[in-house]
Structure 1
């Protein structure tokens, strides 16, 4: 099975993200991503059994607390990814990195170059085959000015099922 580990963004942020993604994809005739509003903690991976991952995640969330993050404006990777820019608090980076340390103890879980610590926190708006329309999309999204104060308050394991990502299990970080 294919899984991904994320922090799901909810409430007003989720509504803004869903509306903007739908608008951009329809307006510019680009493919919609298959994930809800989130930031990625561990990129997609294949596994037959994730009981160990579930145990590590549950135990981690039981002893760690939610932390603040901010979304402010947009940014991009090259000319093929447009995203809402996430600015994690120092505490959020610390919690994220401690969780990465725990995940890296799972010897069956492989890591790519841009995964793990020291990453750019972001929430993708559009990323699939957009380079020819990048400038138009970039100009359009920048008519909006997302500003959200929210929390890194969950760690969710999503599973690829029926042609889309579905929440397999979600764990809440402490209050």
Structure 2
């Protein structure tokens, strides 16, 4: 079933530059293409992918929850990975490390915002990620390598040990995507909903 929608925050400033540098460093050094098949956009997924009968309620809920925040701080602190496991009768028969990511340490405000929004959206969307409903188990992450990394994982992981990654970032917008393209952004400081044209125009000015 097609789940076209996704809600995320996009990294800006130093956090964005750092993440893009790592993505391209890994691509050039190890020739893995998973994260650069399209133009890399450093981001942290907050909810989805999902489908729903109508998007108006989603937009309303993003604005309602977002109206209580002016900014959402976070920190980046080191690396981790996801491992895809195949099971048969509850026994793991195969595993593959398929994503390397930067660990995002959310502020309490970011955790509260995401959890409050997820509780609303889970009532009428078909999101299947089991951790959406948990305030503390949800994995905040920014992907830097994915898909075709399994056979080169050990080399990439050893290479990343040379990086000491620790920085702070700030989110001012909540981004709603449809099939990978911005539909709307909710601007936290101004409490305004921006359409795609307004959103992209303001990013260029920044």
Within 2, Cα distance between the matches of 1:65 and 1:103?
21
Give the match for residue 37 of structure 1.
42
Structure 1 counterpart of 2:126: 109
CA deviations over 1:11-30 (Å, ceiling 9, x no partner): 11111111211221222121
Task: Give how far 1:174 is off.
Answer: 4.1
Per the alignment, residue 172 of structure 1 pairs with: 187
8 A Cα contact 1:2 1:159, kept in partner = yes
State which structure, 1 or 2, has the greater radius of gyration over its C-alpha atoms: 2
Task: Could you list the structure 1 runs, at least 4 aligned residues long, displaced by more than 6 angstroms after superposition.
Answer: none
- Counterpart CA distance in 2 for 1:46 and 1:103 is 10
2:5 is aligned to: 3
Q: Does 1:99 align with 2:99?
A: no
RMSD: 2.2
Aligned length: 170
C-alpha separation in 2, matches of 1:14 and 1:133 = 25
Asked if the contact 1:61–1:174 (Cα under 8 Å) also holds between the matched residues in 2, the reply is: no
> Which residue of structure 2 lines up, in the alignment, with residue 54 of structure 1?
59
1:28-81 alpha-carbon deviations (Å, 9 max, x no partner): 121233551111111223456412211211222122342321101111123221
Question: TM-score, normalization: structure 1?
Answer: 0.84
* SS of equivalent to 2:128: coil
Higher relative contact order (CA 8 A, sep 6+): 1
Provide the C-alpha distance between the structure 2 equivalents of 1:83 and 1:110, rounded to a whole number of angstroms.
22
Q: Please say if residues 72 and 110 of structure 2, whose CA atoms lie closer than 8 Å, have aligned partners that are also in contact.
A: yes
Q: In structure 1, what is the Cα distance between the partners aligned to 2:120 and 2:47?
A: 12
Selected match of 1:19 from 18, 21, 43: 21
Match of 1:76 among 68, 77, 81: 81
When normalised by structure 2's length, the TM-score is 0.73
Gaps of 5+ in 2: 84-96, 191-206
